[in-house]
Chains A and B, each alone.
Chain A
Amino acid sequence: MSALLVAPVVWPLATAALLVLLQGRLTTQRTLSTASAAAQLALAAILLAQVATQGILVVQFGGWDAPFGISFVADHLAAVMVLVNGIMGTAVAVYALRDIDADRERLGYHPMFHVLLAGVNGAFLTGDLFNLYVWFELLLIASFVLLTLGNRREQLEGGIKYVAANLVASMLLLTGIGLLYGATGTLNMADLALKLPLVPVGLATTLAMLFLVAFGIKAAIFPLFFWLPASYHTPPVAISALFGGMLTKVGVYALLRGFTLLFVADVALTHGLLAWIAGFTMVVGVLGAAAQTEFRKILSFHIVSQIGYMVMGLAFFTPLGLGGAVFYMVHNIFAKANLFLIAGIARWYGGSFELKKLGGLYRHRPLLAVLFVIAAFSLAGFPPLSGFWAKLVVIRAGFEVQAWPLVAVSLFVGLLTLYSMTKIWLAAFWSPVPEGVTLRAGPAPALLYAPVVALALLTLAMGFASAPFFVLAERIGAELSDPTGYVHAVLGEAAAATFVARGVAP
């Protein structure tokens, strides 16, 4: 059981080490990389199954019990996110077999990719705040390298923006962690949940703002998001997809964790603020997308916009809102990553990401058109695709807490989302092939299509058979809104009892 909890991090790290030692043998690297990603997916699935049957799982590294050592905690949220990362990892690994050129592979694409997966999983699983910082840094540096791998001009230009913003975020995060440690004397998140109530509310809330900014930069919320649309369209598609789907959601995850487990002393302020941020994030992001004419830039701005929905669910701070935020997040990861991958196939045929230079794909590539429609209309929230349910839950949560304006904004943003999805559809699929452009003959490689089809099927499954997903979302919502179980699992029964006695649990 403990091996299962450790595997999501150690497995890819060991893979990365092995891949480094295999440098230069590209064929072996490709095989190993893909197989390892798939195995990791399997392990993640088993982990989730275990969590679903046995409840929250905890590993105390080195055998040092919390709060002294570092704990890995797999509650439903963490396990689901690890599974999603496994799915994305596998999908991208397969896509990359065709998308990543040998030059980039020689520069270390494969080990870097697995380090990134490990970093993401570490961030999901860790129960220690400083350790979270370390995993954040790991996934960051890996993402820096993946983003700039290849040294193309726009990669470097986008890369510096990405790097700059994220490094500042890291500094702020570490500042926050340091101050929090100084105030409570602990780093374990469950223990922090116990000890933060002893810190004066004003101070705790002030410190929470540092985390809001630090996590917020990584999550690309308003007004801290600029780096995302400035960089996510620059690397190869496989990397874009992984970033666009997975990476920003780590920031959202951190916000979810931080503002349910730790910073709940002054909910009116913190979560009220989050609600404002959510609204602005949605609107500014979607308007940004409306102004773009490049496939991947549109998608990038949409990432921002949709982060707003997730933050909105968090801001409502009810079981339904939190579960909805997570459902939204998972849906969005699949749909968004898939759209990036589809952009890559569209470019394979049309040779460009510029909408003006694309066209004719509906007539000539109906399968691609269907796949795009599934992902795009899901993103736009059309029923019964996954995005509809995601939006529905968040809206319902909004009604529960009577946050009418925010609900109204989110609905309006939905329409604008539709606008830019149809913009792509009209330009790349419906409009005739532009003059001077010839679509590449013959079908795109199956290795490019396979992950796209798989993700589309997932989107459909989340839409048509959403009940099992909602079972998880419901449990996640419950776990997040009442962290007693989390504290109990990490620190034991006695600690959880004090937790409840202090009246922390809502």
Chain B
Amino acid sequence: MNSLILRTTTRPIIVVLLLISIFLLLRGHDLPGGGFIGGLVAAAAAALYAIAFGDEAAAKLLRVHPELLVGWGMAAAVAAGLLGMVAGREFLTGLWWVIAVGDQELKLSTPLLFDVGVYLVVVGVILRFVLSLEER
């Protein structure tokens, strides 16, 4: 949409939205959020961008094909399951690694990796929906 007001407002909004989406993704294990909700927010941000600036600009912003996001997301989710088996447990068994960064603890886990996979798939999928319908 050719609107200065929309475009000018959209830029900060999508920055905030992407931050929020990652925030929702990361804290999803403890508070409302998670990969799906985070992914939806990120995809919504991208969709907003696509409407405001056109789908070519959005594709440029994205740099990767939605299909690749989906593929990597699926791979991450499956890998999260397989890591449990690599560790000799059942498929999809949660594994946790706590890394000390200064006095902060960084908790990495297969459920998180799984959620990241979900996030990527959701972003890719919704972008595919919106871009497919937009570009025609």
Report which A residues bind B (CB closer than 8 A): 2-3, 6, 10, 13-14, 16-18, 20-21, 23, 59-63
User: Given the complex, which residues of A lie within 8 Å of B68, measured CB to CB?
Assistant: 20-21
B78 to chain A, nearest CB (A): 5
Q: Please judge, given known A-B contacts A61-B92, A63-B93, whether A10 and B74 are in contact too, CB under 8 Å.
A: no
Most buried by A among B65, B75, B82, B90: B90
The residues of B that contact A21 with a CB separation of less than 8 Å are 68, 71-72, 75
With A59-B90, A63-B84 given, can you name 16 additional A-B contacts, CB distance below 8 Å?
Answer: A3-B91, A6-B81, A10-B78, A13-B74, A16-B74, A17-B75, A20-B71, A23-B67, A59-B91, A61-B90, A62-B84, A62-B90, A62-B93, A63-B89, A63-B90, A63-B93
Q: Tell me if B70 and A20 are in contact (CB < 8 A).
A: yes
Are B92 and A14 within 8 A (Cβ)?
no
Q: Contact partner of B81 among A10, A16, A20, CB < 8 A? A: A10
**Residue B6 CB within 8 A of the other chain:** no
In contact, A6 and B71 (Cβ under 8 angstroms): no
**Measured CA separation A16–B78 after assembly (Å):** 11
Query: B57-96: which have CB < 8 Å to A?
Result: 65, 67-68, 70-72, 74-75, 78, 81-82, 84-85, 89-94
| Distance between A39 CB and nearest chain B CB, rounded to angstroms | 16
Nearest Cβ on chain A to B127's Cβ, whole angstroms: 14
Q: Across the interface, do A60 and B74 meet the contact criterion of CB distance under 8 Å?
A: no
Q: Is the CB of A2 within 8 A of B90?
A: yes
Pick the contact of A20: B74, B92, B93 (CB < 8 A): B74
- From B69, which residue of chain A is reached at the shortest CB distance? A20
Query: Is there contact, CB below 8 Å, between A17 and B74?
Result: yes
- Assess the B78–A14 pair: CB atoms within 8 A: yes
CB within 8 Å for A17 and B71 given contacts A60-B90, A61-B92: yes
Of A2, A6, A17, the most chain B CB neighbours within 10 A belong to: A17
What CA separation (Å) do A63 and B87 show in the bound complex? 12
Minimum CB–CB distance from B35 to chain A (whole Å) comes to 16
Beta-carbon contacts under 8 Å, B81-125 to A: 81-82, 84-85, 89-94
Using A17-B75, A62-B90 as known contacts, say yes or no to A10 and B82 having CB atoms under 8 A apart: yes
A-B contact pairs, 9 of them (CB 8 A): A2-B90, A3-B91, A17-B71, A18-B71, A21-B71, A61-B91, A61-B92, A62-B84, A63-B90
A2:B85 contact, CB within 8 angstroms:
yes
Cα of A178 to Cα of B78 in the assembled complex, Å: 28
A60 contacts across to B, CB distance below 8 A: 90
Q: Nearest chain A CB to B61's CB is how many angstroms away?
A: 21
Q: Which residue in chain B gives the minimum CB-CB distance to A13?
A: B78
* Complex CA distance for A2 and B92, rounded to whole angstroms: 12
B residues in contact with A59, CB < 8 Å? 90-91
Chain B residues near A17: list those with CB within 8 A: 71, 74-75, 78
Instruction: Give the distance in Å from the alpha carbon of A16 to the alpha carbon of B75 in the complex.
Output: 9
Nearest A-chain residue to B111, judged by Cβ:
A62
B91 and chain A: residue at smallest CB distance? A6
The CA of A60 and the CA of B75, in the complex, are separated in Å by 22
Q: A6 to B85, Cβ gap below 8 A?
A: yes
Write out the residue numbers on chain B whose beta carbons fall within 8 Å of the beta carbon of A10: 78, 81-82, 91
Give every chain A residue within 8 A of B84 (Cβ-Cβ).
62-63
Q: B37-73: contact bitstring with A at CB < 8 Å (1 yes, 0 no)?
A: 0000000000000000000000000000101101110
- Is B71 a contact of A2 with CB atoms below 8 Å? no
Residues of A within 8 A of B93 (CB): 61-63
User: Which A residue sits closest to B71, measured CB to CB?
Assistant: A20
Closest to B94 in A: A62
When chains A and B are docked, how far (Å) is the Cα of A504 from the Cα of B92? 33
Nearest CB to that of B82 among chain A residues? A10
Closest chain A CB from B134 CB (angstroms): 19
CA distance A23 to B68 in the complex (A): 9
Complex Cα–Cα for A63 and B111 (A) = 13
Distance in Å from the Cβ of B52 to the closest Cβ of chain A? 29
Alpha-carbon separation in the docked complex, A23 to B70 (Å): 12
Top 6 A-B residue pairs of the complex, sorted by shortest distance between their CB atoms: A20-B71, A17-B74, A21-B71, A17-B75, A6-B91, A62-B92
B94 surroundings in chain A (CB, below 8 A): 62
Smallest CB separation, B30 vs chain A (Å): 18
Q: Which residues of B contact A18 (CB under 8 A)?
A: 71, 75
Chain A residues closer than 8 Å to B85, beta-carbon distance: 2-3, 6
Most B CB atoms within 10 A — which of A3, A10, A20, A61? A20
Q: What is the minimal beta-carbon distance from A280 to any residue of chain B, in angstroms?
A: 41
B132 to chain A, nearest CB (A): 12
B81 closest partner in A (C-beta)? A10
A132-B71 Cα distance, complex, nearest whole Å? 24
B41 to chain A, nearest CB (A): 24
Q: In the bound complex, how far is the Cα of B78 from the Cα of A121, in angstroms?
A: 16
Q: Is A2's CB under 8 angstroms from B78's CB?
A: no
| Least distance between A431 CB and chain B CB atoms (Å) | 47
Instruction: Report the separation of the CA atoms of residues A431 and B91 in the bound assembly, to the nearest whole angstrom.
Output: 57
Write out the residue numbers on chain B whose beta carbons fall within 8 Å of the beta carbon of A62: 84, 90-94
B113 to chain A, nearest CB (A): 14
Residues of chain B lying within 8 A (CB to CB) of residue A20: 67-68, 70-71, 74
Q: B7 CB to closest chain A CB, in angstroms? A: 32
Q: Which residues of B are found within 8 Å of A2, using beta-carbon distances? A: 85, 90-91
